Amino acid sequence: MFLPEEDGIDVEGLRQQFEAERAAGSLGYFSLAELEHLLDWYLLHRLYAQAYEVIEHTASLYPEAPEVPFWRSRVAFERERYAEAYLHAMAALEKIPLTAEVYNHLIEVCMVVERVDSALHLFALWWEEAPTTAEKARAAAFLTEELLARGYAEVAIPILWQGWTVYPARRLYFVARLAKAYQQSQRVGEGLQMFFARLWEEAADFSLWLGLARLYLTKHSYALAVQALEQARLLLEATENDSDPAWGTLYRLWAQYYEAISQPLEAYRAWLQAREHLPYHPEVLLRLVAYYHQNGQWEAAEPYLQRLHQKAPYLAGTRWHLARHLHYTGQYREASLYYRTLLHHPHYGPEAAYHLLRLYLETQQLDRLKKHLDSLLNRYGEAPALWLSWVRRAYQDKLERLAYFLLETLRRKKGGLQTASLYYWHAALALNRGHLDQAAHSLEQALLLAPDQAHLFTKLTQGQTSLPLSLSWLLRQYGGLR
């Protein structure tokens, strides 16, 4: 923290000494630096009782030490006792000098308890005290990441501009976050005006043109996005700027543009160019892996997937593509583990759920398939459109058995299949499987709800040489097509 370093501290020896003296009831002298090393070790290993003992011994040895409330805040935060962590943090602020480490911890505590006012006060203090412009920029970046993650985009905007102004070396970063903040706060028009206003002052700043391109892409103003990207390229060439982050960002935005206008091959080429400048950037690796997977080039995807797993294993996109890759290559157990980590993800959850169903069916794990279906019924039982999408997907994938299992699971729910489309699907698939009574019941329910959609049933049963009389009668009775 803010203590002077003591070279050659043997943390393991310290720990053994501390625990031996504690067991004997005769804890002796330790320096503050030694106690901090002990605290860090216990926190790393989640030994919170021992961490508290270190703090209490520190308080007894050094009653006026400003470290004590700060350390108490750290332990409370690790234990997810956030209100307690905040109280200790505010007590610490009255005693300790601000450093980058202290600032970062206090900001985290303030944001987790939604005390944005306190976080802004801390930022103002550290902005004045930070020893370098780089530290000021890092402080702005740290706070605004927390603000953007928690939905305070409007609050983040002026702080991001402060960072952009004070530290030119990180302007690409701040412009990217500014574009995100303007988009999140639904102030894209204002963002465009602000970027142009800055260009009047610094016409040669390519980062501002990249910011304009980002905002134009969010507005689907593709012609204007192209103009901004071309202007950024001209400025980079004119200034002989060979910065990898700059050129990599330019090609990333070109790739996003080509994806937006449905030119996947051009997008792929742009991602490859971005890779030349940003070989370990998670988005670049993810998009290349996605392209190869979509085109069935599993071997080509593998080196990028390995690199992605090494550099960004925490990303949901990494786990998704790993699951798909392992599934395709027959590593079913590992694939199922990754699918399950994504089941509650807002974007990947429904896709992971479907592919896990496929995996269980392909490997004849029917008990797990049933349990997974029951779990999906509890989670998505009130989302018939999602179930219909799964049914259609299974049918297109020539997994009619899975489509039928999905419909049967939803049919057990109180209220049944809920929509005419689902009843028509169930009627057709039940008929194909020889369950005539089920087919008749579902067809009648579908016709009662939407007789004008009977063509769906006839399309799905085209393989039938003739319909059973009971089903033909229902179609005639309700004005159906056959």
* Residue ranges of domains in the chain: 1-96
Q: Is 415 left (phi over 0), alpha (psi -120 to 50) or beta?
A: left
Do 440 and 470 touch, CB atoms closer than 8 A?
yes
Do 19 and 42 touch, CB atoms closer than 8 A?
no
What is the rounded distance in angstroms from the CA atom of residue 51 to the CA atom of residue 28? 16
Length of the chain: 482
SS (H, E, C) the chain: CCCCCCCCCCHHHHHHHHHHHHHHCCCCCCCHHHHHHHHHHHHHCCCHHHHHHHHHHHHHHCCCCCHHHHHHHHHHHHCCCHHHHHHHHHHHHCCCCCCHHHHHHHHHHHHHCCCHHHHHHHHHHHHHHCCCHHHHHHHHHHHHHHHHHCCCHHHHHHHHHHHHHHCHHHHHHHHHHHHHHHHHCCCHHHHHHHHHHHHHHCCCCHHHHHHHHHHHHHCCCHHHHHHHHHHHHHHHHHCCCCCHHHHHHHHHHHHHHHHHCCCHHHHHHHHHHHHHHCCCCHHHHHHHHHHHHHCCCHHHHHHHHHHHHHHCCCCHHHHHHHHHHHHHCCCHHHHHHHHHHCCCCCCCHHHHHHHHHHHHHHCCCHHHHHHHHHHHHHHHCCCHHHHHHHHHHHHHCCCHHHHHHHHHHHHCCCCCCCCHHHHHHHHHHHHHCCCHHHHHHHHHHHHHHCHHHHHHHHHHCCCCCCCCHHHHHHHHHCCCCC
Residue 223: per-residue pLDDT: 97
Residue 104 identity: N
Do 211 and 190 touch, CB atoms closer than 8 A?
no
Sign of CA dihedral 290, 251, 141, 188: negative
Q: Give CA separation, 98 vs 32, 106, 124, 128, 327, in Å.
A: 18, 10, 12, 11, 50
What is the rounded distance in angstroms from the CA atom of residue 201 to the CA atom of residue 196? 9
**Site of tokens 């409330």:** 69
Residue 65: per-residue pLDDT: 86
Residue 459 identity: K
Residue 366: per-residue pLDDT: 95
**Site of tokens 């009831």:** 25
Prediction pTM value: 0.75
- The angle subtended at Cα 130 by Cα 124 and Cα 135, nearest 5°, is 105
Query: Taking the chain (482 residues) in consecutive chunks of 10 residues, what is each chunk's mean pLDDT?
Result: 51 88 87 90 90 90 88 89 89 84 90 92 92 94 92 96 94 95 96 95 93 97 97 92 92 97 96 95 93 93 92 90 94 95 92 97 96 94 94 95 95 85 94 91 91 88 79 79 49
What is the rounded distance in angstroms from the CA atom of residue 210 to the CA atom of residue 172? 8
CA dihedral 378, 380, 384, 389 (to 10 degrees): -130
Residue 261: per-residue pLDDT: 97
Q: Give CA separation, 259 vs 88, 175, 301, in Å.
A: 49, 22, 19
| Token pair in block for residue 455 | 């063509």
- The angle subtended at Cα 454 by Cα 389 and Cα 355, nearest 5°, is 15
100-112 and 82-93 helices, crossing angle to 10°: 140
CB count within 10 Å of CB 341 equals 15
